[in-house]
């Protein structure tokens, strides 16, 4: 590709405070001996240069939490960071799975990913769910008691499962949940997908007066067709005292501010939250698996990283 085309393509992307590649490309181009390119892109370079120079001087934002899942094959998640919650009570959504602490449901694959596996279990089983003998097992990992944080960029690279009845999620819950309850503690869903929507993920917040089906957010439709389960994608959240924004693969698709809440509702996103990675099966929103559903299914997490604001 011609240099001018390369720079034009890069300019179409939004520079990020967390990735200065674009700024470095501009600096390199500024020093190159291609007068025609410099002339044709002078205005664009000047405009973006003003943006890039301060950001480059500041350097990348500090990582305050990093999990690369580089353990040996079959090893369990780091217990110093993650707790595996257990139970089959439906988790407020009439989910069908029993969350276990077994390495059969959450383990390292040996190539740099955490695997959360949902398994259909033979019936009957000794595991009891809210509806009787459990039909599925899966895993739900939380950092509660180990790590929480307020404001910054929260990011994970994930390959989600697919099929009717699957419900993978990467999300946050207010660390004060034990004292104030839900939804007063606040909930921020960075990524949720339900199996009947293979090309759509959702970003949502829940709080007092806007919880459950009344949560506020937006869907993101995968560009170029296909399904999110076909490959890894980066799901990100930028959260400050004044707004929350959602991204997929660097594309911002929703920004929420306190003024966007229902009249009289409280903005409860002003305190530390902890992380959750889980793979639910069934429930009120996705519906139950059907004859088209295939198990086991896996959710692969390449990394989770949190950057300071």
> Annotated active-site positions, please?
187, 192
Residues 257 and 104: their CA atoms lie apart, in Å, by 41
Angle at 306 between CA 147 and CA 157, to 5 degrees: 115
Q: Is 305:236 a contact under the CB 8 Å cutoff?
A: no
Residues 67 and 112: their CA atoms lie apart, in Å, by 10
Angle at 117 between CA 111 and CA 121, to 5 degrees: 145
For residue 233, what are its two tokens? 């994608």
Q: Tell me which H or E stretch contains 141.
A: strand 140-142
For residue 27, what are its two tokens? 């600096």
Residues 290 and 283: their CA atoms lie apart, in Å, by 13
Q: Give residue 255's Cα distance to chain centre.
A: 15
């Amino acid at each position: 590709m011609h240099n001018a085309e390369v720079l034009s393509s890069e300019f179409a992307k939004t520079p990020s405070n967390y990735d200065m590649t674009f700024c470095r490309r501009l600096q390199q181009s500024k020093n190159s001996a291609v007068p025609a390119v410099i002339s044709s892109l002078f205005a664009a370079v000047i405009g973006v240069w003003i943006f890039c120079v301060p950001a480059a001087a500041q350097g990348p934002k500090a990582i305050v939490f990093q999990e690369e899942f580089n353990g040996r094959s079959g090893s369990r998640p780091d217990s110093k960071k993650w707790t595996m919650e257990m139970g089959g009570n439906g988790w407020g959504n009439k989910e069908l799975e029993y969350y276990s602490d077994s390495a059969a449901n959450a383990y390292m694959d040996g190539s740099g990913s955490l695997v959360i596996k949902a398994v259909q279990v033979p019936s009957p089983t000794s595991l009891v769910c809210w509806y009787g003998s459990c039909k599925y097992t899966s895993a739900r990992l939380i950092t509660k008691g180990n790590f929480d944080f307020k404001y910054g960029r929260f990011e994970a690279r994930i390959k989600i499962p697919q099929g009717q009845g699957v419900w993978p999620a990467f999300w946050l819950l207010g660390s004060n949940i034990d004292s104030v309850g839900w939804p007063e503690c606040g909930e921020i869903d960075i990524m949720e997908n339900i199996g009947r929507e293979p090309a759509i993920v959702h970003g949502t917040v829940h709080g007092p007066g806007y919880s459950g089906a009344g949560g506020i957010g937006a869907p993101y439709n995968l560009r170029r067709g296909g399904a999110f389960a076909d490959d890894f994608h980066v799901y990100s959240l930028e959260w400050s005292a004044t707004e929350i924004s959602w991204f997929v693969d660097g594309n911002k698709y929703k920004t929420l501010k306190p003024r966007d809440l229902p009249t009289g509702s409280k903005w409860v996103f002003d305190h530390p939250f902890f992380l959750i990675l889980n793979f639910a099966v069934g429930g009120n929103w996705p519906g139950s698996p059907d004859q088209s559903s295939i198990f086991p299914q896996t959710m692969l997490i390449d990394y989770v990283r949190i950057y300071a604001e």
